[in-house]
């Protein structure tokens, strides 16, 4: 208990310093102590926005401002989440969507918490081996084209959250997205680059796939022309959603057009699949780390479970006493990641289909057993890190995250996705369809787009939700008060990077600007590689990790964390990841 008290007070000191500096200087909030390499592209910290009443941090500035304006007009955090998410479907079509899915995690000032799972589902006609060629090899049909799409969940999920917790009229929350689609907006560099890449990729497809992607070309090519980028078909679809709620999407002309486009382009989604789709309310997972409580997403996300296991393993080490870039600390974190991802890949899946040993996986006794195999000096090869419960019981690259705090102590953390950038590249009625089917283990034991090697628990079955790594998270301080709202895109790296954003705050006292800028590492069991961000670790640290037996490789910058930290005086600080083009908008 004494140890916990010390940790807590040292954490508070970590927060206090930036607060005092802020009060004294009235400068834009930046964080103090930085130990990142001097050449680190993002310096010591990202720019920080401070606000007294409300904050939205999203990956695209128009969307952040839409959410902020909803808060300023008296809406609550859930209202702002609905409006921000729909605005992202217009201004950040790489990942913002109505043709994909996501998770919304909410925590209210009175202590209640709730989570909506609006993950996509396999269509009823899906089969286990639908992406295998005649010789058994995995094809790329789970990634591009109509067959890659799962039944979308976003409109149902946002509606469910709004029905239960929203305070403003639904149509008022859809209106800003309609306005952006109808009258257009100036596309940023990220969108233009994304569109250029997509058009190049589609141009390289065979004639049949090019035909399936024709609407995507006609919708997005105008984004490369000077002037505002308008999406009139999407505006029309959003108007139906504004007027009729989910019926405007899952029923009637939009649903019929979607099913028709599937029939002509070789996809499986039918009007019955759309009618049957339902968002699911889930009990948020609660895990604990150094006297703090973290609310996370349960399956069909793997995020909350993997972070719980990692936290339980790492609690036994005095990580806060080690510097952020201490190779010994990185080694222990990586060893915990390796073991937790091994279990993820073997055991986790859609709870409606898979009998998961969750109670055991989340227990401290199990974490103790798992951590007992960690050697502080040597990396354990992944081949020796089998899933810890024996044979399986039965199991950004474009996603986007936004964080919201409404100043009354309510917070919403949302991660939403089409899977890879621009999803399946197939559009219908002005919106893109996801390629989320690739998140299944299309060939159990073989890697998917993220290199994840997953098992039978995540094999394709009709009506099943594919296992996700999306990890919207909300951290409460030892008194149960809101402290941090965080999340990121990044495929399999989502879990490890969200975890690092949390421990960087709790163990190393990083403020919001620093925790979004901090260099990142990742390990997912297979491949047996320790990835770090190029330029993020010094040559000495890399050599030390190699001496411990890690296969250390640099990758280009990964993920796009959007975070909010509540300061001890109750004011809000937010920062968008400097790797992306996001904005923290407060008032």
Active-site residue list: 399
Tell me which of 233, 429, 439, 507 binds ligand GLY, using CB under 6 A. 439
Size of the site for ligand GLY (CB under 6 A): 9
215 near ligand GLY (CB under 6 A): no
Which one of residues 231, 270, 399, 403 is an interface residue with ligand GLY (CB under 6 A)?
A: 399
**Between residues 348 and 502, which has the closer beta carbon with respect to ligand GLY?**
348
Least distance (Å) between residue 354 CB and ligand GLY:
16
Cα radius of gyration (the chain): 22
Which of 491, 536, 580, 586 is the binder for ligand GLY (CB under 6 A)? Answer: 491
User: How far apart are CB 484 and ligand GLY at their closest, in Å?
Assistant: 21
Q: Which residue has the tokens 């609006």?
A: 118
For ligand GLY, the closer of residues 52 and 352 by Cβ is 352
In the complex, minimum distance from the CB of residue 210 to ligand GLY, in angstroms, rounded to a whole number: 25
Mapped onto helix, strand or coil, the DSSP state of residue 178 is helix
Closest CA to 117 of 164, 161, 67: 161
Instruction: Please tell me whether residue 468 binds ligand GLY under the rule CB under 6 A.
Output: yes
C-beta separation of 447 from 441 below 8 A: no
> Is 64 an interacting residue with respect to ligand GLY (CB under 6 A)?
no
How many Cβ atoms sit within 10 Å of the Cβ of residue 372? 9
Residue 425 CA, distance from chain mean position: 20
CB of 254 to ligand GLY, least distance (A): 23
Q: Does residue number 514 form part of the binding site for ligand GLY (CB under 6 A)?
A: no
Question: Does 419 interact with ligand GLY (rule: CB under 6 A)?
Answer: yes
Identify whether the C-beta of residue 473 lies closer than 8 Å to the C-beta of residue 498: yes
**C-beta of 103 vs 229, nearer to ligand GLY:** 103
Q: Is 469 in the site for ligand GLY (CB under 6 A)?
A: yes
Query: In whole angstroms, what separates CA 288 from the centre of its chain?
Result: 20
Q: Which residues is 412 bridged to in the sheet?
A: 106, 404
Q: Which is nearer to ligand GLY, 399 or 454 (CB)?
A: 399
Minimum CB distance to ligand GLY smaller for 369 or for 397: 397
The residue sitting closest to ligand GLY, measured at its beta carbon, is 468
Nearest approach in angstroms of CB 482 to ligand GLY is: 25
- Look at strands 482-486 and 473-476 and give their pairing: antiparallel
CB of 567 to ligand GLY, least distance (A): 31
CA distance 514 to 510: 6
Site residues for ligand GLY, 73-112, by CB under 6 A, read none
Contact status: 416 vs ligand GLY (CB under 6 A): no
The span from the CA of 319 to the CA of 332, in Å, is 9
Q: Which stretch binds ligand GLY (CB under 6 A): 144-152, 247-255, 340-348, 468-476?
A: 468-476
Q: Binding residue for ligand GLY (CB under 6 A) from 345, 417, 427, 454?
A: 417
Peptide bond into 527 cis (omega under 30): yes
Scanning residues 111 to 150, which ones bind ligand GLY (CB under 6 A)?
none
470 binds ligand GLY (CB under 6 A): yes
φ and ψ at 358, to 5 degrees? Answer: -65, -40
Closest CA to 166 of 214, 125, 116, 213: 116
Whether the CB-CB separation of 249 and 98 falls below 8 Å is answered with yes
248 binds ligand GLY, rule: CB under 6 A? no
Q: Count CB-CB contacts under 10 A for residue 168.
A: 18
Please, which residue, 85 or 468, has the CB nearer to ligand GLY?
468
Q: What does the block give as tokens for 496?
A: 């490890």
- What sign does the CA torsion over 50, 54, 58, 61 have? negative
Give residues with Cβ within 8 angstroms of 578, minimum separation 6.
41, 42, 46, 47, 516, 517
Task: Using the rule CB under 6 A, give the single segment among 25-33, 170-178, 465-473, 506-514 that binds ligand GLY.
Answer: 465-473
Q: Is 162 helix (H, G, I), strand (E, B) or coil?
A: helix
Considering the complex, what minimum distance in angstroms separates the CB of residue 180 from ligand GLY?
Answer: 24
Alpha-carbon gap, residue 388 to 312, rounded angstroms? 14
Of residues 281-310, which lie at the interface with ligand GLY (CB under 6 A)?
none
Kindly list the residues in this chain that would bind ligand GLY in the complex (CB under 6 A).
Answer: 399, 417, 419, 436, 439, 468-470, 491
């Amino acid at each position: 208990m004494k140890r916990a008290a010390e940790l807590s007070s040292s954490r508070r000191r970590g927060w206090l310093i930036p607060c005092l500096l802020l009060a004294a200087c009235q400068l834009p909030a930046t964080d103090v102590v930085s130990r990142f390499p001097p050449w680190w592209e993002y310096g010591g910290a990202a720019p920080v926005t401070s606000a007294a009443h409300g904050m939205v941090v999203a990956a695209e500035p128009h969307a952040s401002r839409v959410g902020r304006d909803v808060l300023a007009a008296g809406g609550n955090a859930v209202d702002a989440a609905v409006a921000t998410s729909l605005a992202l479907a217009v201004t950040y079509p790489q990942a913002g969507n109505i043709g994909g899915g996501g998770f919304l995690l909410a925590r209210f000032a009175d202590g209640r918490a709730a989570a909506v799972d609006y993950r996509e589902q396999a269509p009823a006609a899906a089969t286990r081996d639908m992406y295998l060629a005649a010789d058994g090899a995995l094809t790329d049909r789970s990634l591009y084209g109509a067959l890659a799409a799962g039944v979308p969940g976003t409109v149902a999920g946002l509606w469910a959250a709004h029905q239960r917790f929203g305070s403003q009229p639904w149509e008022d929350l859809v209106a800003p997205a309609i306005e952006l689609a109808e009258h257009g907006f100036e596309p940023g560099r990220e969108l233009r680059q994304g569109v250029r890449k997509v058009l190049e990729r589609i141009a390289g497809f065979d004639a049949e796939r090019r035909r399936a992607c024709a609407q995507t070309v006609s919708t997005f090519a105008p984004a490369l022309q000077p002037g505002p980028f308008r999406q009139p078909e999407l505006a029309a679809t959003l108007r139906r959603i504004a007027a009729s709620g989910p019926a405007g999407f899952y029923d009637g002309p939009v649903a019929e057009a979607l099913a028709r486009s599937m029939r002509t382009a070789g996809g499986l989604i039918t009007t019955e699949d759309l009618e049957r789709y339902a968002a699911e309310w889930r009990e948020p997972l609660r895990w604990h780390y150094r006297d703090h409580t973290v609310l996370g997403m349960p399956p069909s996300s793997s995020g909350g479970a993997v972070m719980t296991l990692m936290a339980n393993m790492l609690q036994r080490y005095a990580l806060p006493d080690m510097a952020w870039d201490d190779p010994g600390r990185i080694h222990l974190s990586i060893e915990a990641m390796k073991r937790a991802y091994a279990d993820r890949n073997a055991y986790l899946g859609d709870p409606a289909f898979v009998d998961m040993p969750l109670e055991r996986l989340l227990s401290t006794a199990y974490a103790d057993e798992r951590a007992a195999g960690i050697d502080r000096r040597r990396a354990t090869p992944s081949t020796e890190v089998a899933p810890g419960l024996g044979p399986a019981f039965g199991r950004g690259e474009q996603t986007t995250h936004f964080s919201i705090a409404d100043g009354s102590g309510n917070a919403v953390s949302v991660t939403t996705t089409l899977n890879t950038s621009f999803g399946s590249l197939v559009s219908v009625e002005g919106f893109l369809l996801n390629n989320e089917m690739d998140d299944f283990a299309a060939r159990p034991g073989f890697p998917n787009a993220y290199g994840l090697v997953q098992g039978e628990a995540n094999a394709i079955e009709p009506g099943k939700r594919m296992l996700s790594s999306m990890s919207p998270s909300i951290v409460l301080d030892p008194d149960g008060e809101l402290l941090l709202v965080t999340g990121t895109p990044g495929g399999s790296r989502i879990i490890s990077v969200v975890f690092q954003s949390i421990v960087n705050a709790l163990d190393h006292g990083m403020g919001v600007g620093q925790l979004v800028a901090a260099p990142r590492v990742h390990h997912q069991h297979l491949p047996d590689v320790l990835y770090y961000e190029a330029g993020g670790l010094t040559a000495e640290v890399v050599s030390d990790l190699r001496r411990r037996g890690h296969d250390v490789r640099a990758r280009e910058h990964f993920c796009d964390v959007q975070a909010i930290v509540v300061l001890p005086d109750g004011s809000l600080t937010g920062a968008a990841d400097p790797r992306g083009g996001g904005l923290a908008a407060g008032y």
